[in-house]
Each structure stands twice: as structure tokens, then as C-alpha cells.
Amino acid sequence: MSPPASDLLSVKTIPGAGRGIIANCEISKDTTVLNSEPPVAHVLFREYRKEVCAHCFLYDRGRTLRVKDHDTGKVFCSASCRQGWVDYTGEQGRSAWRDLYHLIHMKNKGGKGSSGISLTDHRPGIEEIDRRWEKAQRGADEYVRTRSDTSNALGDTGRKQAKGALASSIDPDILGYLLSGILHHDQQPDRWREAVMTLAMHDEPYSTTHDLEAHCNSFVQLCSIMPVSLLRSCTIEVCRALAAASSHNAFGIRSGGEDGEEYMGYGVYPSASYFNHSCHPNVAKQRVGNVWRFWVTEDVRQGDELCISYLGGDEKDLNVRQRRGHLQEVWGFVLHHPVFDLDASKAIADWQWSGPPVREAAMST
């Protein structure tokens, strides 16, 4: 379901403001207008890996959840969530998560942390991004060729090469985000193309060269450990699209729904990405398990644009400067307009996407 369409709403081009969601008819207050699908790619940050259910994202503060999948390290709030995750992920996907779990485990045993972010680092431009990904492709080609020639298991050569991939630092959050997207792509490549490739994409989504490097390394590392049958979806096109889509389309996964305290991860929910931002939103959202529900908070007329606030409910009392800072931090854009409280369609025309992707906000908190 992307872009969203129903009796209640449809996606239209808003003059000067890209796409937006328009009410097809009068809608009365509190009516649910959209239930999103589960994310096409998401990550629960590593520091929450023992406290957040991998299936329904339930958070039990400070407590290790009791149901564990020992092969993959995933935890669940209940046996039924575990079963739900196993069914959704499939045997092949589970095997890939197991391989990633082992990679991270081995790497941690080595005692090498990921390298730090240099203060003099810069935001890489498109040419630098292309060059770096071409290099990653050459590295990945080696693995793909060797591994496709042999069996599913890593042969001696494959093992040697996996060691090579381990020599560079790993980023479990990026690896997990990419793997979730790759698995989704592999399950439904046509639907994935329709849902993800039509989203607003950021051409230069990496906030630093370190971030770009980490994505490229993660791609090569995944090529080195991924079950051979999944290599068709572990491609540069998919990995680059996942980064490009996350900048503008990711929703934070927080412990209490929209305005909960803990920022535990983020996900891309394509059908939900068509709502524009307004400082006077007429739509509210709440996370319900691994999906989002959207409902109108006032009576809406036919032809009205339906807008959400990209700010969480807890920021309502912030002043303009604080709000602007928060939008930049979390959503990676700056609102270049003298007056922040604008009609959404005008405001959106003035947005310039310029900041870091969502995950940067998580790293700094």
C-alpha cells in the first residue's frame, strides 16, 4: 500500500510542495484515516537489543525480555511474538540474522570498537559517494563470485575473505538496518520497488565520510556472510536506496508511541511518508506495535490537505528556535523561512534538506 489511497484520502501534487495527502470527502474528528504497513526497513539500536521486542517493538525499561531466539540474539515480549517474527522473517532471513549475530559477536570478541568520527569530517558529495560505492562494489564482487561458485557454507577461501571483511570496523546499527531492508526486498522485490523507489530520496544522505564508509563496509560485510540465495538482494542499488530513503522518510521508534521518552530506533513506513508537516496538524499519529495509526484531530473538509507534525507531542511547548533545532536534528532539514508557523504547503516549498539522517539524532542522545 504505497502511495496510500482509500475512500477517505488520496495522494496529490501540491503546487510548489511536492506530494501531499488530500481528503477525498468530509471526515469527522477522530476518524482513522490510515493504518500503515510494517516498516520496509528498520533498526532497533543496539543498546536496546535486550529490552525491545524484535517483533512488536514493545519496550520493557531496563529489563531483559524473557523470550529469546538464541541463534540470532533477538528478544521478544512473548512466545507468540517470537513465532510471528519467525514466520515473517522466514528461514532464509533467520539464517541471515544468525550470520550477522555471529559476525558482531566475533568482532566484539576482537575488542576493536568502531573508529571515531573525525571533527574535521565533511558531508560527502555525490561524486565522492559514487566513487566510494564503486570501490565497495569491487570488494563485494570478490565475495559474490567466490561464494556463488561454491556451496551455501563458507569454504576456506570464503572464510579467509570473511576475515578480511572483519578487519574493518563494523556498525551493528547500519548492518541491521540494511539487512532488514535487504530481506524485505528479497521477499517482495516488485512491491519494494513500488514502495521504496517512489519515495522522496536524498542524493547525499551520508552526514560524514565516516558514515558513508560505514555503509559501504556494511554492504561488503553483508555480502561476505549473507546466505548465497540472498545475494541477489544484497546489492548496491538496494543499500544506497535504503540510505537515501531513510533521510526523509524514517519515523522514530519510541518507547511510548509518538511522544515516548526513549528513542529506540527508526523505520521507513512508505505509505506514512506522504503526510506533509504542519505546525497546525490536523492528523495525529501513534505507533501501535510495528505499525502506525493516523487519525484526524478535527473535522476535515473535502480537499483539505492532511498534515502531521514531524515533531513529537512532547515538543509542543518548545519555542521557535528550539523547534527548528529539533526538526533539523531529527529530520535532517532546516526550515528557511522567517516565520516558522506557516501554512504547511507554503512551508514545505521552502524546506531545504540539509542535515544528517535520523540515526544521527540517536547517536547524539
Applying CB under 5 A, which residues contact Zn ion?
53, 55-56, 58, 77, 81
Count Cβ atoms within 10 A of the Cβ of residue 221 and give its class: 0-12 exposed, 13-18 middle, 19 or more buried.
buried
292 is written with which cell numbers?
502506525
How far apart (Å, rounded) are the C-alpha atoms in residues 248 and 246? 6
Measured CA distances, 10 to 19, 119, 275, 293, 294 (Å):
10, 45, 11, 16, 14
Choice between 55 and 240, CB closer to Zn ion: 55
Cβ of residue 60: shortest distance to Zn ion, in angstroms?
10
- Minimum separation from the CB atom of position 56 to Zn ion (A): 3
Residue number, 80 or 297, with CB nearest to Zn ion: 80
What lies within 8 Å, CB to CB, of 11 at 6+ separation is 3, 4, 5, 19, 20, 21, 22, 274
Nearer to Zn ion among residue 53 and residue 250 (C-beta): 53
Q: How far is the CB of 237 from Zn ion (least distance, A)?
A: 32
CB of 77 or CB of 327, closer to Zn ion: 77
Query: Least Å distance between CB 187 and Zn ion?
Result: 20
- Measured from the CB atom, the residue of 60 and 142 that comes closer to Zn ion is 60
- Residue 231: which region, alpha, beta or left (left: phi > 0; alpha: psi -120 to 50)? alpha
Shortest spacing between CB 30 and Zn ion, in angstroms: 27
- Cell 529490552 sits at which residue? 51
Q: What is the residue type of 155?
A: G
